[in-house]
Amino acid sequence: MADVDIPPEYYGWWRIIETSQWDNDDIDIIGTALISLTGYDDMLRMFVLLAHVNCKPTKRGVSFTWQGAWEYDPVSGTGSVRLRKDRRLAGRIRIKDGDESTFLAERAEQPDEPIPDPPSYRDKWRRRW
């Protein structure tokens, strides 16, 4: 169970449809770009980023921290979302010591297949036969 309840208007899965700083043609390169906001075992996938998300409600929306991998390189950061009048999420994601971007997301269904865990940096150097 979650330690905090995510407000129902934010709770669930969201399809990330665009970002302000990165080429949106590649947003789904490793699978549909998604973020989950449930307060329990949440995930983020977009471009070549796979991350575990820890979210909590705020007065203006939901804030989150995340930790994962961009390709095979370990990365982490923070983010926040708020609900717009059109029922879309307006968000911001920050990579620690790196880029920052806004994003837009629409309500989505939970994917049929789970989002994989972020790869380990060691996976980058393993031989593939």
- Global confidence as pTM: 0.90
Q: Give a yes or no: residue 96 inside a domain.
A: yes
Q: Give a yes or no: residue 77 inside a domain.
A: yes
Q: Give a yes or no: residue 125 inside a domain.
A: no
What is d(CA 70, CA 75) in angstroms, rounded to the nearest whole number? 6
Q: Give a yes or no: residue 74 inside a domain.
A: yes
Q: Give a yes or no: residue 113 inside a domain.
A: no
Q: Which of 101, 113, 120 is nearest to 16 (CA)?
A: 101
Tokens 């399809």 appear where?
15
Q: Within 13 Å of residue 19, how many CA atoms lie on the same side as its CB?
A: 20
Q: Provide the residue range defining the domain that includes 62.
A: 12-107
Class of residue 12 by CB neighbours under 10 A (exposed 0-12, middle 13-18, buried 19+)? middle
Q: Give a yes or no: residue 122 inside a domain.
A: no
50-100 per-position pLDDT tens digit:
999 999 999 999 999 999 999 989 999 999 999 999 999 999 999 999 999
Per the structure, the count of domains in the chain is: 1
